[in-house]
């Protein structure tokens, strides 16, 4: 069976005053039905642009998908008309964004925003849609759903709004949910609640998820597979256990070592990733991580490493020295 989503050689560019920025520079990955894939990276790594490209939500101008295929459930989303695409968004693919306050319409009631989705995509009549809206709010753990349906977004707390976003995303029983930093704006106890809701519902309903985040703890708790992005490319991908316990890209290794951990003895000093994040307008032909890399050799300046198998099955890394890194990481740990 083909995967639910297959992204092949996706390139998304932005034309800016400083030149063309290749925000997504040739990424390929798959998401199987029902699985949770995390995309990890820092600001400017292309993780959000990559996700928005799947939904064709890149503002043009200045952005443009210049190459690649996005095969979802047997169709190439790039070849659909805008009207067809609107049906994919919201019906086949649900979306949860970071800021529930800006993604909800402030002048419509919560109820109307849910029923609108149901009426538009499923042709439900108003009473059916309203009944379903109550069920959906109950499902995401909102107490007193009938009263909440009549309220406006500003009357809800941040955590509650994000639950509403999840309810809208799930309204039409999508096959995939794309969640872009779904809990970054929330407090840690609310973050935990929201992620638990997403996890249990995606299991129960068999929905696949792409979770985009910079939080390595969130990834460890919820994802089965991980794509690590840097400067517009996937630099390492594989099962979560392999990424955390046998990382084969210097960036992943450095990232994992730089965070203080509550479960480990306090270290005398943190071990940061040196240098500054890359300037995407000034990338050369070499590996983009090279200026910050402790393992860089001459070759890294002249050629960009491609993703090659490393470690166990399904684990790939874009580093010339990935086979040596398994040993290095162990010695250092």
Partner 1 sequence: MNAAGETPLLEVRGLAMHFAISEGIVLSRKVGDVKAVDGVDFTIGRGETLGLVGESGCGKTTTGRCILRLERPTAGEILFDGRDVNRMDRSELVALRRRMQVIFQDPYSSLNPRMKVGNIIAEPIRVHGIEPDAGRRGAKVRELLAVCGLDPKFADRYPHEMSGGQRQRVGIARALSLDPEFIVCDEAVSALDVSIQAQVVNLLEDLRERFGLTYLFIAHDLSVVRHLCQRVAVMYLGRIVEMAASDELFDNPLHPYTQALLSAVPIPDPRIEAVRAFQPPKGEVPSPINPPSGCVFHPRCPKAVEACKVARPELRELRPGHWVACSEVH
What residues make contact with partner 1 under the rule CB under 8 A?
42-43, 157-160, 187-193, 196, 214-221, 223, 240-241, 244-245, 254-256, 258-263, 266-267, 269-274, 276-277, 292
Shortest Cβ distance from residue 294 to partner 1 (Å)? 13
* Spatial CA neighbour of 289 closest among 47, 41, 10: 41
- Residue 312 near residue 244, CB atoms below 8 Å: no
Closest approach of partner 1 to the CB of residue 10, in Å: 23
When the beta carbons of 26 and 141 are compared against partner 1, the nearer one is 141
CB of 288 to partner 1, least distance (A): 13
CB 199 within 8 A of CB 10: no
CA dihedral 98, 104, 110, 114 (to 10 degrees): -90
Q: Which is nearer to partner 1, 82 or 263 (CB)?
A: 263
For partner 1, the closer of residues 1 and 262 by Cβ is 262
Pick the closer one to partner 1 by CB: 142 or 325.
142
Q: How far is the CB of 240 from partner 1 (least distance, A)?
A: 4
Task: Decide: helix, strand or coil at residue 284.
Answer: coil
Q: How many helices (H) and strands (E) does the chain have?
A: 13, 12
**Which residue, 65 or 218, has its beta carbon nearer to partner 1?**
218
DSSP 111-160: HHHHHHHHHHHH---HHHHHHHHHHHHHHTT-SSHHHHHTS-GGGS-HHH
Query: To the nearest whole angstrom, how small is the minimum distance from the Cβ of residue 261 to partner 1?
Result: 6
Long-range CB pairs of 20-23 (<8 Å, 24+ gap) are 20/281, 21/280, 21/281, 22/232, 22/280, 22/283, 23/49, 23/63, 23/232, 23/280
State which residue, 7 or 226, has the beta carbon closest to partner 1: 226
The residue to which tokens 């998820």 are assigned: 209
* Cα end-to-end distance, the chain, whole Å: 40
Q: How far is the CB of 184 from partner 1 (least distance, A)?
A: 11
Q: Which helix (H) or strand (E) holds 14?
A: strand 5-16
Distance of closest approach, residue 254 Cβ to partner 1, in angstroms: 7
- Residue whose CB is less far from partner 1, 67 or 192: 192
């Amino acid at each position: 069976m083909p995967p639910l989503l297959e992204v092949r050689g996706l390139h998304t560019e932005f034309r800016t005053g400083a030149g063309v920025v290749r925000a997504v520079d040739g990424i390929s990955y798959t998401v199987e039905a029902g699985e949770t894939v995390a995309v990890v990276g820092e600001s400017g790594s292309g993780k959000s642009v990559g996700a928005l490209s799947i939904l064709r939500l890149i503002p043009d101008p200045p952005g443009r998908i210049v190459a690649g295929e996005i095969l979802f459930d047997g169709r190439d989303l790039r070849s659909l008309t805008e009207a067809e695409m609107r049906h994919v968004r919201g019906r086949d693919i649900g979306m949860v964004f970071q800021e529930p306050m800006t993604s909800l319409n402030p002048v419509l009631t919560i109820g109307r925003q849910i029923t609108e989705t149901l009426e538009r995509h499923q042709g439900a009549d108003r009473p059916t849609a309203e009944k379903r809206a109550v069920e959906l709010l109950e499902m995401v753990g909102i107490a007193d759903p009938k009263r909440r349906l009549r309220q406006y977004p500003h009357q809800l707390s941040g955590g509650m709004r994000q639950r509403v976003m999840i309810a809208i995303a799930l309204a039409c029983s999508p096959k995939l949910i794309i969640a872009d930093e779904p809990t970054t704006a929330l407090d840690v106890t609310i973050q935990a609640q929201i992620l638990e809701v997403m996890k249990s519902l995606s299991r129960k309903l068999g929905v696949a998820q792409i979770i985009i985040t910079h939080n390595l703890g969130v990834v460890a708790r919820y994802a089965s597979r991980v794509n690590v992005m840097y400067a517009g490319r996937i630099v390492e991908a594989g099962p979560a256990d392999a990424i955390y316990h046998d990382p084969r890209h210097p960036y992943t290794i450095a990232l994992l070592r730089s965070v203080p951990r509550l479960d480990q003895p306090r270290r005398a000093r943190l071990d940061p990733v040196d240098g500054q994040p890359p300037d995407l307008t000034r990338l050369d032909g070499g590996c983009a991580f090279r200026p910050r890399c402790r393992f860089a050799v001459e070759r890294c300046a002249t050629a960009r490493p491609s993703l090659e198998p490393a470690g166990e099955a399904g684990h790939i890394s874009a580093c010339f020295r990935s086979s040596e890194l398994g040993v290095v990481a162990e010695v250092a740990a």
